[in-house]
Structure 1
Amino acid sequence: MIKKVAIISAHEDAEELFDVFQELDRERFAFSVISGRKTVLSSAQKRNWPAKKLLDLIILPKKNWLFLFFLPIYLLLFLPYVVLLKWRDHYQTILCCDLCSKIIFTPWARLMKIKIIWFVYPEADIVHLNKLLASFLRLWSKRVKIITSTLGAKKKLIASGFENEAIKNITLGANLNLYRHQDNIFSKLASAKNHWPQRKFFTIGTVTCLDQKQNIETLFNATKKLLDVIPFPQIVIVGEGQERKNLTWLAKKMEIDNFVWFVGEQNNLKKWLDTFDVFVATNEVIKLSDLNIVMRAMAAGLPIIGPTGNNLEEIVNNNENGLLIEMNNSEDLAQVIIKLQQRQDWRRLIGEKNKNRAATEFNIEKTVAEFTKLLS
């Protein structure tokens, strides 16, 4: 009998979770998605999963007290959804991925004896929730299986009063074969670089959403410091965002625009990772998508530079397979890049360690086995 699982999510990083579920045995599991976020629904549809639009619950917790005031109305409003999932569509499991779906759907699912699972993202901040809202979550969490993707998230939940026995940490391994092809002027450039007999550039790469300037500015300031030591540094920035135009202007103002490439979104990420010498995780808050990209960079044999105290410690051991620093310090960033550039043998050793670790510890097969057991 096929197990039917309804995923309720308005989270921007749903794609990484969907990639894992897509690998589960289709003869054993069938997934559908309920969301108020267009990108999440689109991600489900391209996998040929049923997708149903829902009121965008992501906006509700911004005013915690207002949300609590209207909670009885929300509970009544979404009761028909759960009734239809149970008796019309015959779903056995509901997976809640955001705060509001956990609060609104859990009591009805428990009442109707539908298996309920919560997925908690790495950046989830349960600790600073409104006390009454946090109390509701703890109350609803009884007889619920809670899944975290980092030990840091698990520790936060335990510190907030959730039961340790109810929480299981499953590292979401990266699907290293999931590289779709996208030929454009930049991907051809990446391919050409990768086949140079002797590359004269030392390429520092990052993959990020260009909506925050701070750490990219730090990378730019570090680049200025590199010029006296590294003859041909090259910064390749993969990603899009509202700050791209401002950052392009900043690179020109700092007179480093000849060393900086903005290549936009690139689906064929592996081709770009293969051209990098070092990977820098530039985001201040490391999310699930960032962890996934770091795992892919490790699989490409790259040393990792990233922020300390921000989930990366779980996959990057400082001074062993990468370097974790205070990312707002351009001097420190420049020094670790120089260290990696000048010690080529050490850089290659780190790269080999990362390749092996990605293959053994962060492969998607382990994650699929864990979720198969959980959902069965």
Structure 2
Amino acid sequence: VINPVFLIDEIDKLGSDYKGDPSSAMLEVLDPEQNAFFSDHYLEEAYDLSNVMFIATANYLEDIPAALRDRLEIIQLSSYTEVEKVKIAENHLIKKQLIMNGLKEKQFKLEEAELYYLIRHYTREAGVRQLERVIASLCRKSVLAILKEKKKSIKVTKKLILEWLGKEIFDYGQKEKKNQIGVVTGLAYTSFGGDVLPVEVTYFDGKGRFTVTGQLGDVMKESTSIALDYIKSNAKKYKIDPKFFDSHDIHIHVPEGAVPKDGPSAGVTLTTALVSAITQTPVRSDLAMTGEVTLRGNVLAIGGLREKSLAAHRVGIKHIIIPKSNLKDLDEIPDTVKESVQFIPVESMEQVLKEALVQ
């Protein structure tokens, strides 16, 4: 029989230059309609590949040529959540590294709280590769401490992590401590999982200029324009003087300017921040939101709700505004999150502002 499984790793890294174009060769190899008569340039003999199972992996779908992507059955795998990473570490990674470094279980103690600390401040990844490296480093340093200082066992604490691994490498978002004017907690979905993303808006006397900073991509820049035009067209409804926009400059900023941000889910956050700043109405600090908005004020569905809700839960958010059309995605969210977070489904910006603004 001829029925092997071929694994092609990192297919998004295929390049083409004067030496050849492997991506065009893959077009024929991976197409079940054509590859029954595949002919390579070495044997020059037709060969049947139709019974071969090809599995390809990629980090970025956009980097795979469109023609090649069209021939693939795409399965999206979301990043591990923090909870999943902790369980993987407890059940597999720590045990593996203990064996690798010649330690017995009673000689090395790394508890759940410290694992969360490592995941949040020393790794930023979809998988657990860096987490395993960090645990391996702690194991090696433990061996050294046991041998040099004649200790029987090591209990890893936050103080010890800082001493052995150095200062924290990454910081993760925090929720606002009190209700603020012009500051809204948004939710972002990144290749590393979910994160909270504050959006700040301020205005001052000027000539109607509109500034957006924070290294935003084209999609988010479009969202800021839609948010502003929606507010202008509904100025009377929100008791805003239409002349305000001609006599003031408005500045929107999404902090961490060195980190590129993009995606179609910041519309409601931007609109709420603008209304809050212009009307001088505070926004609830225990609330986060996600959703795209249209010029008519309708709230559209978003992706990555599972990761976003976990990020909100992690920083202590109690209420999340989500598009009503995303209610079907609540099945994917862990019960621990659903028990402590209230999901508020909305269809329009009026509902969002009613929930978010402190009247």
- Band of TM-score, shorter chain: 0.3 to 0.5
Normalising by the residue count of structure 1, what TM-score does the alignment of the two structures yield? 0.32
Normalising by the residue count of structure 2, what TM-score does the alignment of the two structures yield? 0.33
Higher RCO structure (Cα 8 Å, ≥6 apart): 1
Structure of greater Rg:
2
Quick check: which one's helix share is greater?
1
